[in-house]
Amino acid sequence: MSPPPVTRVLEGRDLDLFHALRLKASHLEPLLTRALFSMVPIAAPELGTFAVDRHWRCYVDMEQARTWGASAAAAVLLHEAHHLVRDHGARAEAKGVTTNIQHQVFNLCADAAINDDLVEAGHPLPSPVLPSSLGFVDGGIEEEYYDQIVMDETPGAPRCGSGAGGEPLEVELDREAAPIIDTIDAQEIREAIEREIARSPSRGTSAGDLLRRATANRPARAAWRSLLRAQVLGRVVVRPGVAQPTWSRPNRRADGSDPFLVPGTRYFSRRIAVVIDTSGSMDRRLLDAAAAELNGLISAVRCQHVMVLSCDTEVGVPQRMRRFETLELRGGGGTDMRIGIRAAGALSPRPDLIVVLTDGETPWPDEAPSGTSVLALVLSRSEVLPSGRGISAIRVDEW
C-alpha cells in the first residue's frame, strides 16, 4: 500500500501559479471573488486533482494544474469554490450521509449540480461529471439527484474532499494544523455573495444562476444576529440621557395652574447582565462570535457597563466591564445555568435583562428572576430551547 500524499505549505512558483489561477477564476466569475480569495491554499503533491475540506482549505496538486493548463485549472478552482459556497459538507450531513458509498454518491451529485452550468458558460473543466453522466437532466439540485441515484451503480469515486460532501481525504489537515475559515465567517461570505447576486444579477451569469438554484430550496430562517438585536433593543427600551416620565417622583412644576396631575421625570440607565457557560462542551468559536455581537449591542444601546458572570456548575466573581476583550473566563466542568441566572438576578442594582450564552446542555429555571427577563443565546443545534415566564431563546445554527 502506497503512503498517502504529503501535504505541505504552498510556496514559491506553486504559490505564484495558484495566485494567477485564482485571479483568472475571479475574472471568469466575479460573483465568486470573495469565496476564491478566502480559500486557504494547501499543497498536496500527487493528489491528482483539487479538493476542499470543510474549513475552506483548498488542497491543490500544482503539477496536475500545469498539466491541465491555466484555463482548465482556473475552472477547477471555480468548481471547488462552488462546493464551499453551497455548503456541501453540511448539506451531506443534513441528508444523513455517513457511509463511504453515500459520501461518494453525494459528492458525485454535488459535482454534477455544479458542472452543468460551468460547462454551459464555456469553462473548460477537465472530464466533468454532468447530470447526464448519472442519468439525469441538467438543471437539478444535489439532493434531488441524491434521492434518485442507485447507490451501488456510481460511476467512479470522486475525490473532492469533506467540503464537497465526500469523505475526508488522507491529505486533509487537522483543524489546528493550518489557518481555517470558521463556520461564522463562512456563512458571512455566503450571505455577502447572495447579496451581490441580488444587486448585480447580470454579473457572472453561470455563478448567479447556479447559486440561485442552490439557495432556492434552503429553509427560510432569520439570522440570529438580527433576532438578537431585536430582542435586546426591544427589552431595553429606555433611552439613556433622556428624561423619562415616572410617578415615583413629583413634578417640580406641579405647583402651577395646570389642574391635571403630571408625572415627575427621571434619568434611567440600562442594566444588562451576561451569564457565560464555561463548561467543557462549549464551542469557543461560536462563543467568540456571540460575544463580539454583544459588544456591538452594548455600544448600540449605550450601556455604560455590563456585569458578566462565568458559570459551569459554580458562578465566578461578577466582572464589571465595558468591552468583552478584557473578559476572564474560568470553568470547564459541568453545566447548570440556573445557578448563573439566579446569581445575575440577585445583583444590585438588578439587571433589566440577563443574556445567557450557552450550548443548551443545561437545566433551566421555570421562570426568570423577579423584575427581569432572560434571553438565552443557544450556540448549538439543540432542538430543545428554554421557555417559561420571562424567558426567551434564540438558536445560533449557522454552521
Per residue in 178-228, pLDDT (tens digit) is 888 887 788 888 888 887 776 765 544 555 565 655 555 454 455 666 677
Q: Phi, psi (5° rounding) for residue 151?
A: -60, -30
pLDDT for the residue 133: 84
Give residue 182's Cα distance to chain centre.
7
Q: Helix, strand, coil % (nearest 5) of the chain?
A: 40, 15, 45
The residue ranges of the chain whose pLDDT is under 50 are: 1-2, 203-204, 217, 219-220, 238-242, 257, 399
Cα–Cα distance between 362 and 279 in angstroms, integer?
Answer: 10
The β-bridge partners of 389 are 367
Cα–Cα distance between 93 and 27 in angstroms, integer?
Answer: 32
How many other CB atoms are there within 10 angstroms of residue 156's CB atom? 10
Instruction: Identify whether the C-beta of residue 191 lies closer than 8 Å to the C-beta of residue 85.
Output: no
Instruction: Using DSSP, state whether 86 is helix, strand or coil.
Output: coil
Q: Phi, psi (5° rounding) for residue 357?
A: -105, 115
Instruction: Identify whether the C-beta of residue 379 lies closer than 8 Å to the C-beta of residue 282.
Output: yes
Exposure b/e, 110-119, CB count within 10 A at least 16 = b: bbbbbbbbbb
DSSP string, 57-82: EEEE-HHHHHHH-HHHHHHHHHHHHH
Q: Is the dihedral of CA 135, 136, 138, 141 positive or negative?
A: negative
187: cell is 456563512
Instruction: List Cβ<8 Å contacts ≥24 apart for 130-139.
Output: 134/108, 134/109, 136/112, 139/213
Stretch(es) of the chain classified as CATH 3.40.50: 224-239+269-395
266: cell is 427621571
169: cell is 481525504
Q: Look at residues 107, 131, 112 and name the one whose alpha carbon lies nearest to residue 52.
A: 107
Q: Look at residues 357, 41, 54, 38 and name the one whose alpha carbon lies nearest to residue 183.
A: 54
Exposure b/e, 51-72, CB count within 10 A at least 16 = b: bbbbbbbbbbbbebbeebeebb
Cα–Cα distance between 359 and 323 in angstroms, integer?
Answer: 22
pLDDT for the residue 67: 97
Q: Look at residues 100, 197, 87, 205 and name the one whose alpha carbon lies nearest to residue 143.
A: 87
- Measured between alpha carbons, how far is residue 131 from residues 115, 136, 234, 295 in Å? 8, 5, 49, 47
Fold designation for 224-239+269-395? Rossmann fold (3.40.50)
Instruction: Identify whether the C-beta of residue 312 lies closer than 8 Å to the C-beta of residue 388.
Output: no
Residues contacting residue 332 through CB under 8 Å, at least 6 positions apart: 278, 279, 280, 312
pLDDT for the residue 124: 93
Instruction: Identify whether the C-beta of residue 154 lies closer than 8 Å to the C-beta of residue 108.
Output: yes
Q: Is the dihedral of CA 114, 115, 116, 120 positive or negative?
A: positive
Cα–Cα distance between 309 and 83 in angstroms, integer?
Answer: 41
pLDDT for the residue 172: 93
pLDDT for the residue 139: 81
